[in-house]
């Protein structure tokens, strides 16, 4: 993971998120958005949901065997590291992380779990046992609303962190590259 050399206008950058992580991220974001707008449960809605569940499962596998910053071992924090980070965040002294910071890592896990829950509840509404069960349809809609709030919080946090650390995290999720600087914490040195 060699940093790209700095130019007169740009600091050196380093590869952080691989192509699969970025493709999975934007595919899940697009799929959730499409299904939020088309909530009728028709075949396209269901197939987008099935693809989203398959992507989450692939992401879980990639979290074990993938590139360094894709692996859960690189970014899932211990409870102690999460508490330390949140304490620093509340005091406005949170460090910059090369990969996901501990709070973002917890959000990633929650978003993946919520997508699975949406997929399972959506699929159950199509089964003979649960077809037409209003409580399950209500639960599916409630989970989708909670997910929308989580997505809004995720985007707001990415924008805040981009501003706070002077780094465009949205762009980094397209390019896979972040600023290479000595002011960031890498997961290997976090605990």
| pLDDT block averages, 10 residues each, the chain of length 191 | 51 88 97 90 91 97 94 94 95 90 95 97 92 93 96 96 90 91 57 48
Contact 21, 181 (CB under 8 A): no
Report the distance separating Cα 130 and Cα 32, nearest Å: 23
Residue 186: per-residue pLDDT: 60
Q: For residue 30, what are the CA distances in angstroms to 56, 101, 114, 149?
A: 13, 24, 15, 16
Q: Which residues lie closer than 8 Å to 72 by C-beta, 6 or more apart?
A: 63, 64
Entry pTM: 0.85
Report the distance separating Cα 31 and Cα 23, nearest Å: 12
Residue 139: per-residue pLDDT: 96
Residue 40: per-residue pLDDT: 78
Residue 188: per-residue pLDDT: 45
Contact 187, 75 (CB under 8 A): yes
Residue 105: per-residue pLDDT: 95
């Amino acid at each position: 993971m060699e940093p790209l050399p700095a130019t007169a206008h740009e600091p050196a950058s380093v590869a952080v998120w691989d192509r699969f992580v970025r493709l999975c991220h934007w595919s899940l974001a697009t799929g959730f958005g499409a299904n939020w707008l088309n909530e009728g449960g028709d075949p396209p809605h269901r197939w987008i949901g099935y693809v989203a569940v398959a992507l989450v499962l692939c992401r879980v596998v990639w979290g074990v065997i993938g590139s360094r910053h894709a692996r859960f071992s690189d970014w899932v924090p211990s409870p102690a590291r999460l508490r330390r980070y949140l304490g620093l965040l509340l005091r406005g002294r949170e460090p910059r992380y090369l990969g996901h910071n501990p709070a973002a890592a917890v959000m990633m896990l929650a978003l993946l779990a919520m997508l699975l829950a949406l997929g399972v509840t959506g699929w159950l509404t199509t089964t003979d046992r649960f077809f037409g069960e209003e409580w399950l349809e209500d639960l599916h809609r409630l989970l989708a609303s909670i997910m929308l709030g989580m997505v809004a919080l995720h985007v707001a946090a990415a924008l805040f962190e981009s501003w706070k650390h002077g780094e465009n995290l949205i762009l980094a999720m397209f390019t896979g590259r972040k600023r290479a600087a000595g002011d960031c914490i890498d997961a290997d040195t976090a605990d």
